Each structure stands twice: as structure tokens, then as C-alpha cells.
Amino acid sequence: MGESITDGTLAAFLKKPGDRVEIDEPIAQVETDKVTIDVASPEAGIIREFIAKEGDTVEPGTKVAIILKSAEGAAAPPKKAPEEAVSQPPPVAEKEKRKDETAPVIEKPKPASPPPQPSRTSPSEPQLPPKDRERRVPMTRLRKRVATRLKDSQNTFALLTTFNEVDMTNLMKLRSEYKDAFLEKHGVKLGLMSGFVKAAVSGLQNQPIINAVIDGDDIIYRDYIDISIAVGTPKGLVVPVIRNAEKMNFAEIEKEINSLAKKAVNGTISIDEMAGGSFTISNGGVYGSLLSTPIINPPQSAILGMHSIVSRPMVVGGNIVPRPMMYIALTYDHRLIDGREAVFFLRRIKDVVEDPRRLLLDI
């Protein structure tokens, strides 16, 4: 499972007793705090029975199934079930029939009692929906882990959020003009996220305190920039990491983002690919979010929130013109980062995105 995982929940069996399995074929899935891991069969054969049950907490080395290397005995478990089904149900069915015969006599008076209840409720009391219209579903381990980490973030950090807005005209024009040539040379589409990653790298280099973290009474400054990208999946939020983003160009960033995003959605991303990270970017704009206050991903010290692009009237050169605008938000740990550094960082994001040529000239 990996050194950081000590146990998991047996989420589901992918096979049934009596099914044929091959070596390394997945037979079950274990859900951990971070990822869902396939349990592969070590041998080829027939599944005789499952020892563990779905929902059980299992540790590395726990036996979950018995596999017969030969087909002999595979039919044994099914034979027992029919015998028990034939011998046991008749008396149970007879008892149920006898109960049903007497049940109507006892239950008939009961319907007369509910009518008085509505009269007891006063007009001020809320009318709650019946329980049969509610569903109770256990939280997944991933969702519980996310909930714990986010609550710990609120309890530990002195969270403060500052905002700015970005004119996306030039970055969108750059993408429009070079998207075909970029795709032809690098084999990947040019998106907006790589521009924001490069802008974040530039901002973190200018304001290294935002890339740092508090450790006890010390401040740890990082001489590397690992950008975490928040990705929403059907099973919950995961945050894969782009390693050493300061050494990557636009094409390398786009390729890494696409690769990690596909793995995250398919559930094949590894724990190592989500470990660490010194700064997080969350793009709520893909879902249509106009503005939000993102929560820091512990143990990092800040997170950048991107939002949807909306055409708004802006004053440019004394004239009111429509511009594609995006609100950006930086939530930071005020224990470590002052408002001055946070505002300068966000201004650097704004300057680089609005004029990407600054990256070439390093100004």
C-alpha cells in the first residue's frame, strides 16, 4: 500500500465466489484515506470464498479470500446453500403464514390512533419530512480524510483571503494564435492553467515566504516549487503535485497536468504523486464559480483560487470596453504571511497573466 498507509476499508469485491481469476487480476478494491487500491490475485484459479466482508477495515497482509488453484471443490459451496435453503425456509414460511393470519386482527385498531396526532402539533412547529424519504450513506474514507484535513486547516491557520481581478484578453489571445502550432509540436493542447502555473512560480520566486511553512518555532523556506493542482473526482477531491514546476516550460506543465488529471479521474493515481506540494492552485471556474475563498491545503501556507471568465465592462484608455475578466483569490496563513506579501504576490499573478511577455523578459 505504501509507507503512509496503515489500513483501509474493503470497498467492494469485483468477483464472486466460483469466478475464475488470473494472476494479478483485481478481485477487490480497498479504499484508503487518499486513493482506491486494487487487490490483485496472487494466483490463477477459482475463488472459493471471501473471508473478509465489504466495509471491513483491513491492514496489509490481511487475508480476504481463498482461491483454489484447481477447479475441484468450486462447486462445493453452491451445494450447501440449496440444501439449507430447502431445509430451513419451510418452517419459517409456515410461521410467517400463521403470524399473517392473526396480524390483521391485532393491527386493525392501530390506524384509528394516528388522526389525533396532527391536532397536537401547533402551527409554529415545523413539519419534518418522513424518514422514509431520507437515505443514510456512510462517508468514504477519502471524504472523511478531506473533511478532517480541511477542518484542521481552519483550526490551525489564521486564514485570510485577498482578492484581485485579471484581464484575460492577452493570455486568451496568445492561446488562440498559437494553439495549433503548440499542439502540432508538443502533442498537447495549450490551456490557461499552464499560464497560471508559470505566473504562480514567478510570484513564489518573488515572494518566497508564501512558499515557506511554519514548523514549530521555525520557518522552513523551500528552494523548490511543487505546485499542487486540486482535481475534483467522482470519489472526492484529490491534489496531484507537479514537481519542480520552476524548471518546466508551458508544454511540460500541460503534459503533466493532463497525465495527472486523467489518473485522478480514473482512480489510478498513486500516493507518491499526491505527496508533498508547497503551493496549491484550485480552479473553481471549470464549474462556473464566480468567487470563492479557498481553504489552505495543510501543511502548505497559501492557496490560489481561479474562477470563471466573465465578460464585463472595463475602462481601458478612458473608454468602456467589454473584457474577459476573472476574479482570483489568495487564501494565506496570516501567522506567517503579511498582507503586503500576499498582495504583492497576487499583483504578480495579475501582471504576468495580463502580459505573458514579462516571463520572457523576467520583469
C-alpha cell at 41: 490475485
Please answer whether residues 245 and 225 qualify as being in contact, where contact means their C-beta atoms are separated by less than 8 angstroms: yes
pLDDT of 352 > 90? The answer is yes
Q: Which of 10-24, 180-194, 255-269 has the weakest average pLDDT?
A: 10-24
Q: Which of the following is catalytic: 7, 334, 351, 355?
A: 334
Q: Which of the following is catalytic: 152, 180, 272, 338?
A: 338
With respect to residue 239, please indicate whether it lies within any of the assigned structural domains. yes
Q: Are residues 200 and 289 in the same domain?
A: yes
Q: What are phi and psi of 350, to 5 degrees?
A: -60, -45
Please answer whether residues 239 and 299 qualify as being in contact, where contact means their C-beta atoms are separated by less than 8 angstroms: no
**Cis amide bond preceding 299, omega within 30:** yes
pLDDT at 251: 95
Q: How far apart are the C-alpha atoms of 52 and 49, rounded to whole Å?
A: 9
Q: Which residue in 244, 167, 243, 246 sits closest to 206, CA to CA?
A: 246
In 10 A of CB 86, how many CB atoms? 9
Q: Are residues 355 and 260 in the same domain?
A: yes
Residue 361 CA to its chain's centroid (Å): 37
With respect to residue 64, please indicate whether it lies within any of the assigned structural domains. yes
Mean pLDDT across the chain: 84
Q: Which domain holds residue 33?
A: 1-101
Element (H, E) at 264: helix 250-266
Instruction: Say which residues have a Cβ less than 8 Å from residue 84's Cβ, sequence separation at least 6.
Output: none
pLDDT at 211: 97
With respect to residue 117, please indicate whether it lies within any of the assigned structural domains. no
pLDDT at 253: 96
Q: Are residues 197 and 329 in the same domain?
A: yes
Q: How far apart are the C-alpha atoms of 351 and 120, rounded to whole Å?
A: 66
Q: How far apart are the C-alpha atoms of 345 and 330, rounded to whole Å?
A: 9
Q: Which residue in 239, 199, 240, 243 sits closest to 222, CA to CA?
A: 243
Domain count, the chain: 2
Please answer whether residues 318 and 151 qualify as being in contact, where contact means their C-beta atoms are separated by less than 8 angstroms: no
The reply to whether 334 belongs to the active site is: yes
pLDDT of 187 > 90? The answer is yes
How many helices, marked H, and strands, marked E, lie in the chain?
Answer: 9, 18
Q: Which residue in 15, 38, 58 sits closest to 268, CA to CA?
A: 38
- CATH code of residue 5: 2.40.50.100
The reply to whether 338 belongs to the active site is: yes
C-alpha cell at 194: 499552464
Q: Are residues 200 and 272 in the same domain?
A: yes
Last residue of a domain, one of 51, 76, 101: 101
Please answer whether residues 1 and 32 qualify as being in contact, where contact means their C-beta atoms are separated by less than 8 angstroms: yes
Task: State pLDDT tens for residues 93-106.
Answer: 444 545 444 445 45
Q: What are phi and psi of 31, to 5 degrees?
A: -100, 125
Q: Residue holding cell 397536537?
A: 120
With respect to residue 77, please indicate whether it lies within any of the assigned structural domains. yes
Please answer whether residues 330 and 341 qualify as being in contact, where contact means their C-beta atoms are separated by less than 8 angstroms: no
pLDDT at 13: 86
3-state class (DSSP) for residue 101: helix
Q: Are residues 54 and 173 in the same domain?
A: no
The full length of the chain comes to 363
Of residues 285 and 120, the one with the higher pLDDT is 285
31 Rama sector, left if φ>0, alpha if ψ -120 to 50, beta otherwise = beta
pLDDT at 87: 46
Q: How far apart are the C-alpha atoms of 40 and 27, rounded to whole Å?
A: 6
DSSP for residue 55? T
Q: Residue holding cell 489564521?
A: 158
Handedness of CA 81, 82, 85, 87 (dihedral sign): negative
Q: Are residues 76 and 147 in the same domain?
A: no
With respect to residue 218, please indicate whether it lies within any of the assigned structural domains. yes
Q: Are residues 155 and 296 in the same domain?
A: yes
Q: Are residues 91 and 157 in the same domain?
A: no
- CATH code of residue 337: 3.30.559.10
Q: How far apart are the C-alpha atoms of 97 and 36, rounded to whole Å?
A: 46
Task: State pLDDT tens for residues 134-181.
Answer: 888 888 887 888 888 889 888 989 999 999 999 999 999 999 999 999
Task: State pLDDT tens for residues 250-288.
Answer: 999 999 999 998 888 888 888 889 888 999 999 999 899
Q: Which of 226-240, 295-309, 329-343 has the weakest average pLDDT?
A: 226-240
Q: Is the pTM of this model over 0.85?
A: no
Q: How far apart are the C-alpha atoms of 40 and 37, rounded to whole Å?
A: 9
